[in-house]
Structure 1
Amino acid sequence: MQREILARKNQITLVSGILILIGLFGHFVLHSTVVFNTAFIIASILGATPIAIQAYQSLKVKVISIDVLVTIAVIGAFAIQNYEESAIVTFLFLFGSYLEQRTLNKTRSAIRSLTEMAPESALLQTENGEFVEVDVDDVDEGAILLVKTGARVPVDGTVLIGEGHINEASITGESVPVTKIEGSGVFAGTILENGTIQIRADKVGEDTTFGKIIELVEEAQDSKSEAERFIDRFSKYYTPAVLVIAFVAWLFTRDVELGITILVLGCPGALVIGVPVSNVAGIGNGARHGVLLKGSEVIGDFSRVDTIVFDKTGTLTVGNPEVAEKAYYNEDTEIILGYLASIERESDHPLAKAVLKEIGETTFSSVENTEVVKGGGIIATVEGKRVAVGNVALMEREKVGLNEQARQDIARFEKNGNSLVLTAVDGELAVLMGIRDQIRPGVKEDLQALKRLGVKDLVVLSGDNQGTVDLVAAELGLTEAHGHMLPEDKSAYIGKLQEQGQIVAFVGDGVNDSPSLALADIGIAMGSGTDVAIETSDVVLMNSDFSRLPHALGLTKITARNMKQNILIAVGVVLVLLASLLFSDWMNMAIGMLVHEGSILVVILNGMRLLNFSLKGDRKRTVTEPKSDFILEK
């Protein structure tokens, strides 16, 4: 019976709210005391039932929880026939619990989503040389597997035959596919975008890198336990103290009404609803500004963050490589760009896509005698001319002369973190393009805003090469930068920071980021990232709007401060009421209840201020306030 009632808490909350509205309608419109009292009595009983059950369960394990506090308040209100007080307190308590639980439920399916993304089958070579489809669990180390275009690599292994481009975003987080040739290593869970390869299985099952990602997420989520709320800790001591005071007062005075009055005045309705009101207002403000905060525990932890760790690709950068720099060494630029586009449109390599996007509309020519050079580029004949498109190694192979200016440009482009695409026509260099992932617009200003909000260290971890990561860090003014980082390396680094006593937030967007998102004190996912990253995280920046990150941090800081204010208001009012009741003659139950109602209204209004919160230094606004990094603004 108890379990069934608790399972229907949401329905009870809804019915309770409807009854409260009926009671108010009966009082103010119908002027009917019967309708008023009946509706509020039923609402009180309904709302108090699940709370009383939870109070009973906590008392069974010798814990005096906030549920005990509310139950006492309802009994006391009934004893003095103040039914509206008991009904409203129970409804708001249940409603706040519902809102919090709803936002937290989305994190439950992270491991299931990861498991669904794992490869399920593989093409295994049999003794007669044919390939048959088998369950991935039946693959042993040393087995020979075939991977076709569009398929997921089933194991960690080494390429034996063939070549192709593999998207390793699920492991390294990098959007640019990596060319794999004989001898290259491949990871389970990555996708072969083009080509066909045969691989030798080196690691299978849980030993693969992807398997370790799943394991890391499981361990990190298991290690995260909800901190006991302040009010629950407070009530362990506060509620027994009120009970003792009421009993002692009755013992000495034999005044039952005095004892009940102490119990009623000592159970602060404002304390019960103060924190939920702040949470709801803060979460509502975040939702309006593209920030999803998953529960009150997130708000408290996020407000204390002093170190933020970022993934690079898709977080600090856009995630799509583009032509960033270019140089021309021939007067017939338009014609040569047409040659280049004609060759690149036959390739599905991401760098080729970036080149075509940069060239735009042009005149295409027929391409003949195409030769793909492993690890170098493409050589083809266009309108009778030999055109070579690729890297510096290909130019050297083609004996293309590079003058001093070209060498300086190449060195500068590489220093700036570019991948190079050179184009030579009949042995003469004509075009040089530098392609790199672009830093998100406005990110530098957003990072400065985070520092103003009290973040001490800003760190970037990436699977990209160290040189590129260092360039990004230097441009953005980050504290530290680490490249060549696999998922387990990122998690280990975050664990190291936590061991040093730092409160760490991690910002990422890929499957490879999910262990770090789960392990960090606060995981922050970009909204356009994978479902796994979003579900594993504590905070989601919807639409991948990085500029919402400073707003989110500022919002949690002021929301946490607002909660403390409401707690102080509630406790302060109760202390004043009890002191006045015991040590003065003017305090009575009517005045006490009036002050109670007033304190409830004050904490509600104080919490609602959060709905108009906006951050100082927001790119869209210019506002100032002394001695504060965030303000309330309409």
Structure 2
Amino acid sequence: MKFQRFIQKYQTQITLISAILIVLGFAGKYLFNSMVIYNWAFILASIIAAVPIMIHAYQALRVKVVSIELLVSIAVIGAFIIGEYNESAIVTFLFLFGSYLEERTLSKTRQSIKSLTQMAPATAVLLNTDGSQEEVDIDDVDEGDHVLVKTGASVPVDGKVVSGSGYLDESVITGESKAVAKTKGDDVFSGSILGNGTLTVEATKVGEDTTFGKIIELVEDAQDAKSPAESFIDKFAQYYTPAVLIIAVLVYLFTRDFPTAITVLVLGCPGALVIGAPVSNVAGIGNGAKRGILLKGGAVMDDFAKVDTFVFDKTGTLTLGNTAVSAVKSYVDDEATALTLVARAERLSDHPLGKAITDYVSQQHLNYEQLNVTDNSTVKGQGLTANISNHDVLVGNLKLMSANHVSLTTAQQQDLQAVQQTGSSVVMVAVDGQLALILGVSDTIRPGIKAQLQALRDHGAKHLVMLTGDNQITAQYVASQIGIDEVHAELLPEEKVDYIKQFKDQGRHVAFVGDGINDSPAIATAQIGIAMGSGTDVAIETSDVVLMQSSFEALVHAYSLSKKTVLNTKENIFIAIAVVVFLLIGLIAGFIYMASGMFVHEASILVVIFNAMRLIGYGKLPTTKQPKNSQQTSGNLI
């Protein structure tokens, strides 16, 4: 056991010694004309390099697996029997050197995944009840504890800011590099780095339960989740490797050509075929991880690449899920005064539409707080009336205007219908008996979403569908603005599931994109469930793909990445099979021998690894940040 550990620990040095002995052997023959140096150098090189190979072969046999190492071991013994020491030395060296290069290159494909675990905080500064500070191991922090985060430090827990302010780099969670301002009451995620300021955070989730902990767990699990191609290759290799051994025996029995039979063992090693699919999936998953995209394994990658129908929830997915003023029709000379009056009136109400209006007026830098309210009343189902700074103000719907004898001109009626046709909620404002404003209030369409939906089509999406609980007029308007093909409105959650089942029955491969909370039944029903949003347990656990920054740019990248990864896997399988065919033809034609065959074999392994590594840098890192509220966006409104 100790000997095995010693050999494994120093396998790189063994490879180097083998290479030096091979060089010494060639020098003995061609520089010193000494066959003794030539033969003994290759014998020693063969023995030294064969030891780790044979140990691996023995360990595999103990668990009843006929491994590639066994084929090479038998080939080396056969080469010794026929006196081809140079062949055995070169074959064993190339095998070990190939393993070394394979390990080095594979480690690069896993680098973005390893970097996640390295970013996980190990300690936390705990604030005790007496105000003292104590640095403790992260495992000793409990929910409800208060931890201090200083400039440059990593947030050790998921929690809420209870005091302080600063800017956090949340790229480890969302893939978005732009710093996010945090102040009292804001949520923070473990693994985020505080660029400046000081925060005191109350822990709500700790350890593996944090969002960051779940991301690491998911990405690590994803590496072990096999795609259909990987599963097929694993089964294929179980039968293929013993079959090569049997074929080599049959070649010897029919030809009595021992060197050719031994060469068949070397050429038949399925190394590139076995490694081709896993390395592509690891590289693809790593690419997504560093962009805040969680793809749960090779099987998800394979299914996602087949998607031809994207089904979207509207609110919070196609739109930002908040209300804002989308239209302002003015019929007075002093629009600013009318806006301040309606904003002051809406301060008397807690209606969501009122908040959207006061936010809009504040953005216009209009001050309405100093206006004096002497009388006000709420009219149920119509709106409110108020006397503000000696002006009679009506704020409400058409019924309120009619009840107070405020008439509309033909042009004003046309404006009212135009705003209603967009699906917006309408707020009418009258000042001193005359209609002053018609305001449209609606949800905010995600900026740039039309172009991103077209990008999905460009990558192979054939059907874009909206399923929403909102009214038909609003849904149709959103669809017409962004290019949705099919709209079904006023649906309950179970009715959304029914539509997805219908699409699947029609032979479509469906991906449902929602917020991962209200839409979890639909996410679970579709072949691929995609959650737009970070930090929610349901989003992470229910869906197959999680877009941590709720970005359609990330959705397009994830879709194209899945297709690119599946294509890359197929390329690697083709390369592996083509190499085997080439080697067999070369063996029959007489221009491929044991050493040269092993060289081509090891080279093919590196080719598929380097081909897969192209996935690590695939696509551009996202540069745009999706706004979180209407104050931050200039996008379309509905």
Shifted more, 314-323 versus 278-287: the winner is 278-287
Answer yes or no: is 1:513 the counterpart of 2:519: yes
* TM-superposition CA deviations, 1:18-44 (whole Å, max 9, x none): 755565677789999999998995698
Please name the residue that 2:157 is paired with.
none
Structure 1 residue 306, shift from structure 2 partner: 1.2
Please name the residue that 1:392 is paired with.
398
The code of the aligned residue for 1:344 comes to E
1:264–1:348 Cα change, 3 Å: farther
Residues of 2 paired with 1:558 and 1:358: CA distance?
Answer: 44
Residues of 1 paired with 2:304 and 2:67: CA distance?
Answer: 28
Equivalent residues of 1:344, 1:355 under 8 A apart: yes
* TM-superposition CA deviations, 1:303-341 (whole Å, max 9, x none): 222111111122222222211111122234322322222
1:411–1:591 Cα change, 3 Å: same
TM-score where L is the length of structure 1 = 0.65
1:245–1:39 Cα change, 3 Å: closer
Answer yes or no: is 1:466 the counterpart of 2:466: no
Answer yes or no: is 1:589 the counterpart of 2:594: yes
Answer yes or no: is 1:572 the counterpart of 2:567: no
Please name the residue that 2:503 is paired with.
497
Residues of 1 paired with 2:350 and 2:48: CA distance?
Answer: 73
- Aligned match for 1:600, one of 591, 605, 608: 605
Please name the residue that 1:301 is paired with.
303
Equivalent residues of 1:73, 1:264 under 8 A apart: yes
- Aligned match for 2:550, one of 528, 536, 544: 544
Equivalent residues of 1:76, 1:264 under 8 A apart: no
Equivalent residues of 1:89, 1:273 under 8 A apart: no
Structure 1 residue 370, shift from structure 2 partner: 3.9
1:356–1:492 Cα change, 3 Å: same
Any unmatched runs of 5+ in structure 2? 25-40, 78-87, 115-224, 625-638
Please name the residue that 2:331 is paired with.
329
Residues of 1 paired with 2:73 and 2:20: CA distance?
Answer: 28
Total equivalences in the alignment: 474
TM-score where L is the length of structure 2 = 0.64
1:95–1:591 Cα change, 3 Å: closer
Answer yes or no: is 1:353 the counterpart of 2:358: no
Please name the residue that 2:265 is paired with.
263
**Equivalent position SS for 2:340:** helix
Answer yes or no: is 1:376 the counterpart of 2:377: no
Please name the residue that 1:403 is paired with.
409
Structure 1 residue 393, shift from structure 2 partner: 3.0
Please name the residue that 2:434 is paired with.
428
The code of the aligned residue for 2:95 comes to E
Residues of 2 paired with 1:441 and 1:48: CA distance?
Answer: 61
Any unmatched runs of 5+ in structure 1? 1-11, 57-66, 104-223, 621-634
Please name the residue that 1:206 is paired with.
none
Please name the residue that 2:172 is paired with.
none
**Equivalent position SS for 1:402:** coil
Answer yes or no: is 1:251 the counterpart of 2:253: yes
Structure 1 residue 72, shift from structure 2 partner: 4.9
1:564–1:410 Cα change, 3 Å: same
* TM-superposition CA deviations, 1:356-380 (whole Å, max 9, x none): 1211131322435443333333333
1:446–1:92 Cα change, 3 Å: same
The code of the aligned residue for 1:591 comes to S
Residues of 2 paired with 1:367 and 1:401: CA distance?
Answer: 25
Residues of 2 paired with 1:317 and 1:580: CA distance?
Answer: 61
Residues of 2 paired with 1:225 and 1:577: CA distance?
Answer: 29
Residues of 1 paired with 2:426 and 2:265: CA distance?
Answer: 77
Residues of 2 paired with 1:441 and 1:37: CA distance?
Answer: 66
Equivalent residues of 2:66, 2:242 under 8 A apart: no
Residues of 2 paired with 1:38 and 1:321: CA distance?
Answer: 73
* TM-superposition CA deviations, 1:584-609 (whole Å, max 9, x none): 44432211111111111211222222
Structure 1 residue 254, shift from structure 2 partner: 5.8
* TM-superposition CA deviations, 1:65-88 (whole Å, max 9, x none): xx7555655765886672773696
* TM-superposition CA deviations, 1:5-25 (whole Å, max 9, x none): xxxxxxx99x99975556567
* TM-superposition CA deviations, 1:463-504 (whole Å, max 9, x none): 111111111112222220111122222222112111111111
Structure 1 residue 382, shift from structure 2 partner: 2.0
Residues of 2 paired with 1:230 and 1:427: CA distance?
Answer: 78
Structure 1 residue 537, shift from structure 2 partner: 2.1
The code of the aligned residue for 1:331 comes to D
Structure 1 residue 557, shift from structure 2 partner: 1.8
- Aligned match for 1:526, one of 527, 532, 535: 532
Equivalent residues of 2:516, 2:533 under 8 A apart: no
Please name the residue that 1:202 is paired with.
none
Please name the residue that 1:120 is paired with.
none
Counterparts of 1:98-137 in structure 2, within 5 Å, are: none
Equivalent residues of 1:371, 1:380 under 8 A apart: yes
CA RMSD, 1 decimal: 4.2
Residues of 2 paired with 1:446 and 1:348: CA distance?
Answer: 36
The code of the aligned residue for 1:598 comes to A
1:467–1:576 Cα change, 3 Å: same
Equivalent residues of 2:56, 2:69 under 8 A apart: no
Equivalent residues of 2:237, 2:270 under 8 A apart: no
Shifted more, 588-597 versus 16-25: the winner is 16-25
Equivalent residues of 1:77, 1:83 under 8 A apart: no
Structure 1 residue 240, shift from structure 2 partner: 5.2
Residues of 2 paired with 1:25 and 1:321: CA distance?
Answer: 67
1:84–1:314 Cα change, 3 Å: farther
Structure 1 residue 511, shift from structure 2 partner: 0.5
Equivalent residues of 1:329, 1:431 under 8 A apart: yes
Residues of 2 paired with 1:390 and 1:17: CA distance?
Answer: 79
Equivalent residues of 1:286, 1:552 under 8 A apart: yes
1:591–1:225 Cα change, 3 Å: closer
Percent of paired sites with the same residue: 46
Structure 1 residue 440, shift from structure 2 partner: 1.5
Structure of greater Rg: 2
**Equivalent position SS for 1:339:** helix
The code of the aligned residue for 2:575 comes to I
1:35–1:252 Cα change, 3 Å: closer
**Equivalent position SS for 2:592:** coil
Structure 1 residue 433, shift from structure 2 partner: 0.8
Residues of 2 paired with 1:247 and 1:24: CA distance?
Answer: 30
**Equivalent position SS for 2:381:** coil
The code of the aligned residue for 1:295 comes to G
Structure 1 residue 286, shift from structure 2 partner: 3.1
The code of the aligned residue for 2:354 comes to A
Equivalent residues of 2:50, 2:73 under 8 A apart: no
